[in-house]
Chains A and B, each alone.
Chain A
Amino acid sequence: NAGVTQTPKFQVLKTGQSMTLQCAQDMNHNSMYWYRQDPGMGLRLIYYSASEGTTDKGEVPNGYNVSRLNKREFSLRLESAAPSQTSVYFCASYGAERNTEAFFGQGTRLTVV
């Protein structure tokens, strides 16, 4: 049981480049989330998906897009990376319909230069 798997673990981008962060879960959860973590600001919700085929904006969606490809996978795309997007990104899945524990991936450390 792998839980939540994120790729890549580390990435350096130049300003203006694009990339997609991948996330997959094997717990049959309906809800999946993308957070960014910055010093002193906790975990801020970028986008979430309450079920396959639906996505909604969180607290800080600007500069990002998401795709809920199927029940297992939820990807986060940066179309034109900016230095302000330097952060650690976490994917999580959550059995919200059963109020069960949310599980987090190990994170992607992204640096935009």
Chain B
Amino acid sequence: GENVEQHPSTLSVQEGDSAVIKCTYSDSASNYFPWYKQELGKGPQLIIDIRSNVGEKKDQRIAVTLNKTAKHFSLHITETQPEDSAVYFCAASISRGGKLIFGQGTELSVKP
């Protein structure tokens, strides 16, 4: 079955710096790759997603890149702010009712 590996497990950056989180997946049939942000005491919330027919997607300070050949995808956050501090999860899924499998999570800390 699908396996998703996520690195690093913790990441500390200075406010204004960039942060990059990387994930690899095992099932070449996976075609949907969302990223979730989880704040303390809350459920995860989608921040950006990408489908396998696209190599890159950007939404303001957040971007995701996908390399299907290497089976890895990455989250890029630019100009980080203290409110970006949270746990971030990547996930992979085969569409049409397939399982949504998550990585282990990255705890991002942005220091003012």
Chain A residues with CB under 8 Å of chain B are 4, 30-31, 33, 35, 40-45, 48, 50-51, 56, 58-59, 90, 92, 94, 96-97, 99, 101-102, 104-107
Contact = CB atoms under 8 A, between A and B. Distances in A.
Contacts of B46: 101-102
Interface of B: 1, 6, 9, 31-32, 34, 36, 42-46, 49, 51, 89, 91, 93, 95-105
B34 A48 contact: no
A90 B95 contact: no
Q: Closest 8 A-B residue pairs measured CB to CB? A: A104-B43, A50-B97, A42-B104, A43-B102, A101-B46, A42-B105, A96-B97, A99-B95
A41 B99 CA distance: 17
Contacts of B1: 59
B97 A97 contact: yes
B101 A45 contact: yes
